[in-house]
């Protein structure tokens, strides 16, 4: 099958890799422009672009595909997409809203060739439409998660569902670990779907149960110890790796990367115990025991190593 692929992060690269290994012809890849990365802030290609170049697949990185915003430059990209004469476009975490004119370019697959663009979305739509479904699901303590393949339309994750697969969450997932899991599942579902495209069916998304996963902001990582310990722990897992969870101790930001709940009480944000087993901090309900911490300029450390370089003791307060 001749495919245009649009995606950017490692999540999307998993799907591109699966399509390549399944023998599909990837005629063109769209990805976000190279971004500064690392200590030297060197321009670095996205995971999808890097993989495409490894396989000698042409890559384009348009700033916009909107004809209204991009004018002649955007029109050149539209013409290039049309020239591919692709059967389908696959989109996974591309990072750009595609106008309807782009979604209509492929010739289409499935009954009546009505599916021209397939999106791999990490959630059980209509729950968690939008930018950060994995993070928001963990943050709110969802009991299950999954992947949806849908027919794309101009709305934000509103298109008809082609297929879904769900699995339970056990309360230990971080955004890092869950992203890896759903990336693999989404890639597997896509390859399987394209084996028998004429058998696909479309189901309109229900109106009930719609939620939006808004973009995660850096300031959300600041820990509010007045919240119950369970809620704080969900946020710590949700905000790994970004934006990370942190609190200030005497003006120094301390990141907490791993913790568990313990019983106990005390003044909110105050350390009630600290040793090689963990730093116990009182919350609005119960307490958390932080076991992996990080201070500025240092790597993540298990608590015993952290306390050797940054002593904390009973009565210290986090803000």
Which position has the token pair 């992203």?
Answer: 179
Please give the CATH superfamily to which domain 218-309 belongs: Formyl transferase, C-terminal domain (3.10.25.10)
Kindly tell me if the per-residue pLDDT of 154 is higher than 90: no
313 phi, psi to nearest 5 deg: -145, 175
Centre a 10 Å sphere on the Cβ of residue 89 and count the other Cβ atoms it contains: 27
Q: Locate all alpha helices (DSSP H) within the chain, ordered by sequence.
A: 10-21, 47-54, 67-83, 100-103, 133-139, 175-195, 229-238, 303-309
Q: In Å, how far are 13, 15, 50, 70 from 65, measured between CA atoms?
A: 21, 22, 21, 7
Topology match between the domains 2-213 and 218-309: no
- Whole-number mean pLDDT of the chain? 96
Are the C-beta atoms of 44 and 38 separated by less than 8 Å? yes
Cα–Cα–Cα angle for 237, 243, 248, rounded to 5 degrees = 90
How many Å apart are CA 235 and CA 179, to the nearest integer? 16
How large is the average pLDDT for residues 252-275?
95
- The pLDDT, as a whole number, for residue 111 is 87
Q: Which of 147, 167, 283 is nearest to 224 (CA)?
A: 283
**pLDDT tier, 40 (very low <50, low <70, confident <90, very high otherwise):** confident
Alpha-carbon distance of 252 to 235, in angstroms, equals: 20
273 neighbors 314 (Cβ within 8 angstroms)? yes
Residue 38 pLDDT greater than 80, yes or no: no
Domain coordinates in residue numbering, the chain: 2-213, 218-309
Please give the structure tokens belonging to residue 255. Answer: 């990141």
* Global pTM value: 0.93
Does domain 2-213 fall under CATH 3.40.50.170? My reply is: yes
């Amino acid at each position: 099958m001749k495919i245009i692929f649009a995606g950017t992060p490692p999540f999307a690269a998993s799907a591109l890799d699966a399509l390549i290994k399944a023998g599909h012809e990837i005629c063109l890849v769209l990805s976000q422009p190279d971004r500064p990365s690392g200590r030297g802030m060197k321009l670095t290609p996205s995971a999808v672009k890097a993989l495409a170049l490894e396989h000698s697949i042409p890559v384009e990185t348009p700033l916009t595909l909107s004809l209204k915003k991009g004018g002649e430059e955007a029109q050149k990209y539209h013409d290039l997409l049309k020239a591919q004469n692709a059967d389908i476009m696959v989109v996974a975490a591309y990072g750009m809203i595609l106008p309807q004119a782009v979604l209509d370019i492929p010739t289409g697959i499935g009954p009546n060739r009505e599916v021209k663009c397939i999106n791999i979305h990490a959630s059980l739509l209509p729950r968690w439409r939008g930018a950060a479904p994995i993070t928001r699901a963990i943050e709110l303590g969802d009991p299950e998660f999954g992947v949806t393949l849908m027919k794309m339309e101009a709305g934000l994750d509103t298109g008809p569902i082609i297929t879904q697969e769900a699995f339970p969450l056990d309360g230990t997932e971080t955004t890092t670990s869950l992203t890896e899991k759903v990336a693999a599942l989404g890639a597997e579902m896509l390859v399987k779907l394209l084996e028998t495209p004429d058998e696909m069916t479309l189901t309109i998304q229900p109106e009930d149960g719609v939620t939006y996963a808004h973009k995660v902001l850096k300031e959300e990582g600041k820990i509010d110890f007045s919240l119950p310990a369970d809620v704080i722990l969900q946020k710590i897992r949700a905000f790994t790796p970004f934006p990370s969870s942190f609190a200030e101790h005497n003006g120094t930001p301390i990141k907490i990367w791993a913790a568990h709940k313990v019983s106990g009480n005390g003044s909110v944000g105050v350390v009630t115990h600290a040793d090689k087993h963990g730093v116990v901090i009182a919350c609005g309900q119960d307490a958390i025991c932080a076991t992996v911490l990080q201070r500025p300029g240092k790597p993540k450390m298990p608590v015993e190593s952290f306390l050797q370089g940054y002593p904390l003791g009973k009565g210290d307060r986090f803000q």
